[in-house]
Amino acid sequence: MKKLEKEKVKKVLIDVALIVIACFIGSFSTVSIMIPNGLTSGGVTGVVRIIQNYADVNFSIMYYAGSLIILVLCAVLLGIREARKILLLSVVYPATLFVWELLDIRLIEGKDVILAVIYCGVFSGICNGIVQSRGYSFGGSDTVAKIIKERCMPHVALSKVMLGVDAAVIIASALVYGRNIAMYALVTSVLTSKVIDFYMYGISPKLVRVAIISNAQGEIADYIMNTVGRGVTIENITGAYTGEERKKLAVLCSPREGVLIRNFVAQCDPKALLTLTAVDSVWGDGSGFKPFES
């Protein structure tokens, strides 16, 4: 029992250390690259950048306020369990923003928007890759999307709601900073997404097959269908040694969704068996994948 507790403490300490490192990398991208070059992005950062255009307040202070508002809304509307996932980042990330503001370091000499977009995308991608690989969340547009989905759009996939939230912020940025800056923000978001995928999965396929054997099948299947937005297949299986009949859940999804499912299964049933297999291609009209070519 003591060994198990030590392992949990060790994991928490490693998580905290990596999260702090990730926050310093991400906040450096924002304070030392993005802001000095007049750029913006989606999510909470984009909203704060818009407000900053009208209010002479430090970016870190406004970001802190935004993070705390989202944290409270998450706790009230989604529950304490969801709020715990974003608590660490809601405190640590704004603090690292404040540190970089005090140091006042700029990576790029002068003003070079193209270089700034590239480095913002790379550093932000590394930051988000570390955070997501440890099963944490920033509590930004993803949490807002979860709230919107839970309260207003339960039948819409979470990824689509997130896309809509970020798109709305970038469009609003175009009205404040101009279309070119908004287009740069879009490029930064795409580059960040690619770096996240490369960090978490390397050069991997676009689809994976996740198979799960668990005693919490109903809860897991509900999460996959209603939160991740993927279909689930139930297969009857029999253990060769015990002769015991069990049911196996199978789902085809993206690697990122596979990580989300893995993290959820680990929380609700640590004794479950989960396998993740690379899939080259999937065809099927009406299944959410590529239709058969005629």
Q: Residues 3-14: what's their mean pLDDT?
A: 77
Residues 93 and 171 in one domain: yes
CATH number of the domain bearing residue 219: 3.30.70.120
If one compares 288 and 79, the residue with the highest pLDDT of the two is 79
DSSP H or E stretch at residue 150: helix 141-151
Residues 195 and 211 in one domain: no
Domain membership of residue 249 as a residue range:
207-279
Specify the residue for token string 């999307």: 145
Residues 212 and 178 in one domain: no
Residues with Cβ within 8 Å of residue 144, at least 6 apart in sequence:
70, 165
High-pLDDT (> 90) share of the chain, %: 25
Residues 76 and 119 in one domain: yes
User: What pLDDT, on the 0 to 100 scale, is given for residue 102?
Assistant: 93
Q: For residue 290, tell me if it sits in a domain.
A: no
Domain finish residue from 176, 201, 226: 201
| Count of beta carbons in the 10 Å neighbourhood of residue 242 | 8
Answer whether 20's CB lies under 8 Å from 94's CB: no
Q: Residues 220-243: what's their mean pLDDT?
A: 86
Query: Residue 253: beta bridge partners?
Result: 208
pTM for this entry: 0.71
Domain finish residue from 201, 236, 259: 201
pLDDT at 294 over 50: no
Residues 194 and 223 in one domain: no
User: What pLDDT, on the 0 to 100 scale, is given for residue 1?
Assistant: 55
Residues 86 and 164 in one domain: yes
Quick one: tokens of 215? 């005693």
Average pLDDT, the chain: 85
Residues 195 and 221 in one domain: no
Residues 51 and 91 in one domain: yes
If one compares 64 and 159, the residue with the highest pLDDT of the two is 64
HSE at residue 95, side-chain half, CA atoms within 13 A, is: 10
Query: Residue 277: beta bridge partners?
Result: 209
User: What pLDDT, on the 0 to 100 scale, is given for residue 103?
Assistant: 92
Give per-residue pLDDT as tens, 139-154.
777 788 888 888 888 7
Q: For residue 263, tell me if it sits in a domain.
A: yes
Q: Into how many domains does the chain fold? A: 2
High-pLDDT (> 70) share of the chain, %: 90
Give the type of residue at 2. Answer: K
pLDDT at 81 over 60: yes
Q: Which of 75, 51, 53, 73 is nearest to 63 (CA)?
A: 51
Q: For residue 75, tell me if it sits in a domain.
A: yes
pLDDT at 203 over 70: no
Residues 24 and 118 in one domain: yes
Sheet of strand 245-253: strand arrangement: 233-238, 245-253, 207-213, 273-279
Residues 216 and 154 in one domain: no
Residues 118 and 59 in one domain: yes
User: What pLDDT, on the 0 to 100 scale, is given for residue 15?
Assistant: 86
Lowest-confidence segment of 3-12, 180-189, 248-257, 269-278 by average pLDDT: 3-12
Domain finish residue from 148, 174, 201: 201
pLDDT at 32 over 60: yes
